[in-house]
A = this chain, B = another copy of it.
């Protein structure tokens, strides 16, 4: 009932375990006749290598953890962000012949589980989708820090907040410049009273976009008008109501996400404001839905999938390959050659809402 071992394959093929191993692992330099005999034995026996045994000696697992520091309700929401990240990361990692292990961690207990799993050596590396701020409410060690001390390579999709002692490599889009471009576009359109709906300020993406708004505004004589949302549609609708109360004469809004812009659009319609005639509106992300609103949404396109691909690249650079054994970390030079951060540009996409 037990699964066949390499020993059995070798016996059947009439070779040594070493040779069988070479064939199974695709080493060149095995005589074709021998190679075929081994392959036949593998086939006939239905042999599958035991990953525990293999990983015990190679000190590699072939798996990478994709850790999303968000609760399931947010990960599985109508925000396409996570869907895109997971898909892009999986695709790139599969192309590199690595298995993705998706883990959600949104509580101190969850963080501890992830840390134990990683520290245990179940994975060769970690990709953190690190959107949220410094640690958990109860002051537990932030996941970023906890993972950094496991000695397993860690990279982040999105600039990590408060990385603390441990600066980890990351990829991100240029939130700051993107947001600034959005507001400048509104200024160029002759808008005078420009408000913004920000994301939650414990997320670096929200911080950077708010900074971009402020910078563009400070170049003019306009005062900033800010409402805070949480990147969801509903929060956008609510924030828009607050903005209309604060300044009934505003003539433009920059929403830090398309979903919030869509919510704001609904509020504006309910309030009898025409878009863009009375109020111009710019979003951020360029999600699919932005093309189908009425009017279609001017927005800042964010290359989420490209960032994900770059982040995977960042990690793969730091992983020992199957060919070369894990090298001792070399001081100085080598480390510096590995780029620590990759910031991809965004692009203004003008549609009918401005």
Copies of this subunit: 2
Partner of A119, one of B48, B61, B83, B100: B48
Across the interface, name the chain B residue whose C-beta is closest to A116.
Answer: B48
Query: Would A52 and B104 be within 8 Å (CB), given that A78-B77, A94-B113, A113-B94 are in contact?
Result: no
Measured CA separation A102–B101 after assembly (Å): 6
- B56:A121 contact, CB within 8 angstroms: no
Question: Which stretch, A68-76, A124-132, A186-194, touches the partner chain B?
Answer: A68-76
Q: Which residues of B contact A103 (CB under 8 A)?
A: 100, 102
**Is the CB–CB distance between A52 and B48 below 8 Å?**
no
With A49-B120, A53-B56 in contact, do A76 and B86 touch (Cβ < 8 Å)? yes
Name the residue on B nearest A55 (C-beta). B52
- A56 & B50 in contact (Cβ 8 Å cutoff): yes
- B residues less than 8 Å from A94 (CB atoms): 109, 113
In the complex, A47→B196 CA distance in Å?
A: 50
Chain B residues lying within 8 Å of A116, measured Cβ to Cβ, are 48
Name the B residues within 8 Å of A99 (CB-CB): 113, 117, 122
Chain A positions 78 through 119: 1 when the CB is less than 8 Å from some CB of chain B, otherwise 0: 101011001100100010000111111000010001001101
How many Å lie between the Cα of A121 and that of B61 in the bound state? 13
> Which residue on chain B has the smallest CB distance to residue A2?
B59
Contact A120 B75 (CB under 8 A): no
A51 CB within 8 Å of chain B: yes
A1-B328, A76-B82, A99-B113 known; A90+B119 contact, CB < 8 A: no
When distances are taken between beta carbons in the complex, the residues of chain B under 8 Å from A49 are: 120
Chain B contacts for A53, CB-based, 8 A: 52, 56
Q: Are B87 and A72 in contact (CB under 8 A)?
A: yes
| Top 7 A-B pairs, shortest CB-CB distance | A78-B78, A76-B83, A52-B55, A102-B102, A52-B56, A72-B87, A52-B52
